[in-house]
Amino acid sequence: MTYYDNILEIETTLIGTELRIGIVMSRFNIEVAEGLLGACIAELTKQGVQEPNILLATVPGALEIPLALQKMALSDQFDALIALGAVIRGDTYHFEIVANESARGLITVQLDTDIPVANGILTTDNDDQALARMTQKGIEAARAAIEMANLLAKFDEIT
């Protein structure tokens, strides 16, 4: 979709053919995490990403995701990365710490490495909300990873 006739616009696609995608999934709240993963993998393959070009690593919780993503990003083997997990509010302040710091970690990885990181970490008030949102969030994370990988490739072509 173009917005202006008189300026150069970069259009991205959801074509995942030839892309290499790394996924880091938290095992905490595993039922939700596996729902996110299933939807994410289904969408990646629907958009043309080949299964042999997808690598999955699991970690204990959301706070461990950024370090694994950073290691993947520094390997120069991936066009985009995806973080999957669920942080569900409890009775303590711990929810805010985990939600905020995991998100900060994802941003840091992508800004430090120039590898896009799609945030598929759900933050919800309860299990029911997480279960209701896991499929859509998994799909959105897959699409964001593909779109951003293609966008950055276009930047490389014009610079």
User: Which active-site residues does the annotation give?
Assistant: 94
From start to end of the chain, where are the E strands? 21-26, 54-59, 80-88, 117-124
Contacts of 111 (CB under 8 A, 6+ apart): none
CA distances to 73, 90, 120, 141 from 155, rounded to whole Å, are 18, 42, 24, 21
Separation between Cα atoms, residue 54 and residue 69, nearest integer Å: 13
